[in-house]
Amino acid sequence: MSSTTIDLTTAAGIQIYLQNTPFAAHTVQVLSGGTANFTYRIHLHTPVEGQSTFVLKYAAPYVAASRGTFPLDQKRQDIEVKALRLAHELSAANDLVTAPAVRLYDDAEHVLIIDDCGDSRTLKQLLIDESLPPAISEQIGTALGQFISNVHGWNKKPSTDLKLFAENQFGKYISALVTYGRLESTLTGKDNIPALADPLLGVSEAHLTTISKLVKTRQDAINTASTSDPMTHGDFWSGNVMVSLRHGEEGVIESVEKLYVLDWELGKTGLPGLDLGQFCAELHVLGRFHPAREESAKAVIESFLEAYKQSTGKGADEDLARVTVGHVGAHLVAWTPRVSWGGRERTREVVNEGVELLVLSSEGSESSLKESMVAHLI
């Protein structure tokens, strides 16, 4: 399946690439939403294992959204493939949460074909679109908390080799840079973010000093992680979780049919609190900018953290709670003003919340942590 003369960045090129394979397609649909890769839904002439559609990802040597201007190591796909396979190998077939099965991996051409998640929406979009019954919100949070706890425990399984993930320098670089590496420049106005200018937020020097120390601590921990450290997803948020629901009469939501966790390219060993913090931060921001969905988002967060603690069997973990709440704060500061969530004043409020959470992570008492969103970890 050599693609030497085939342009895999186009639907037409993908159709040619597939024509002499079991995945020959009569239609190739470009999928939106991805940044790093070129992603397509392929509609087959002949079903494979009873399925007529699959998702194909081509990892170009650059970020797809950059149109070739931002180089990106194609080895990222090796990491995703191994993580997807481990997620299947180390979970039960009847688990509510899974990852799409790998159907083909052409490591020479950097093409990956995985199962199509079908009639599903991202958890982020679902929460925006629907007023979920509390039981459904809790079911989603509980299942995802148990799932990511299992992932974080992969390093405890003697037969599981995490060397590839421990050596994911790109994943470490991204996690250290795009969140922690932008905190100080975001808050001081150096990044010239409109919502945070005229006037500046006026974060105190004492808080900036605290945040600067936290940045160094977190970046050091990210960059020095080894094979003995827990496995982490690396980009665990509501946009990377697909939700398939079961509906009853008149379209009423009855239960969750399946949850799929996508995009494992930043998978690496490191700090579990970064996965927990990113997930909770995104849901918290959603609730702040969509007040009608705040209760649903909160229910997912609380059930997620409670299930995580119960699944690990560790009981109260103050260190984990501090890393988690700090990462919530870091995410609120670094990402909220850079994503089109909503108005200027609410954006500034949320960024200020992030500052307070960063300080709480470093200097807050245990009793203060017990009054925060990470109380379920204490």
What would the pLDDT profile of 242-258 be if each residue is shown by its tens digit? 999 999 888 889 999 99
Cβ-count burial 87-96 (b if 16+ within 10 Å, e if not): beeebeeeeb
Contact call for residues 199 and 187 (beta carbons, < 8 A): no
Q: Return the pLDDT at 32.
A: 85
pLDDT higher than threshold 70 for residue 240: yes
Mean pLDDT estimate for the chain? 96
SS3 245: strand
pLDDT band, very low/low/confident/very high, at 93 (cuts 50, 70, 90): confident
- CA–CA dist 64, 293 (Å, integer): 32
pLDDT band, very low/low/confident/very high, at 92 (cuts 50, 70, 90): confident
Question: Which amino acid is it at 34?
Answer: G
DSSP character at residue 336: G
Share of the chain above pLDDT 90, in %: 90
- CA–CA dist 126, 86 (Å, integer): 27
Residue pLDDT, tens place only, 77-88: 999 999 999 998
Whether the CA torsion 42, 46, 48, 53 is positive or negative: it is: positive
pLDDT band, very low/low/confident/very high, at 69 (cuts 50, 70, 90): confident
Q: Return the pLDDT at 250.
A: 81
Q: Return the pLDDT at 4.
A: 61
- CA–CA dist 89, 83 (Å, integer): 10
pLDDT band, very low/low/confident/very high, at 3 (cuts 50, 70, 90): low
Which is it for strands 231-232 and 102-106: parallel, antiparallel or unpaired?
unpaired
Mean pLDDT of 264-284: 98
Residue pLDDT, tens place only, 315-374: 899 999 999 999 999 999 999 999 989 999 999 999 999 999 999 999 999 999 999 999
Domains of the chain (ranges, CATH numbers): 11-115 (3.30.200.20), 121-377 (3.90.1200.10)
- CA–CA dist 336, 187 (Å, integer): 12
Q: Where does the chain have alpha helices with state H?
A: 11-18, 76-89, 123-129, 134-152, 163-166, 169-178, 183-188, 205-223, 272-289, 294-312, 318-335, 344-363, 366-369
Residue pLDDT, tens place only, 16-46: 999 999 999 999 999 987 789 999 999 999 9
pLDDT higher than threshold 90 for residue 91: no
Residue that is written with structure tokens 């103050």 in the block: 318
Whether the CA torsion 190, 193, 196, 197 is positive or negative: it is: positive
- CA–CA dist 186, 177 (Å, integer): 13
pLDDT band, very low/low/confident/very high, at 150 (cuts 50, 70, 90): very high
- CA–CA dist 325, 369 (Å, integer): 8
- Taking alpha carbons only, the member of 71, 37, 67 closest to residue 55 is 37
Q: Return the pLDDT at 35.
A: 84
Contact call for residues 74 and 106 (beta carbons, < 8 A): no
Tokens, residue 152 = 């974080």
pLDDT higher than threshold 60 for residue 2: no
Mean pLDDT of 300-315: 96
- Taking alpha carbons only, the member of 328, 282, 288 closest to residue 122 is 282
Q: Return the pLDDT at 1.
A: 55
pLDDT band, very low/low/confident/very high, at 119 (cuts 50, 70, 90): confident
- CA–CA dist 287, 293 (Å, integer): 5
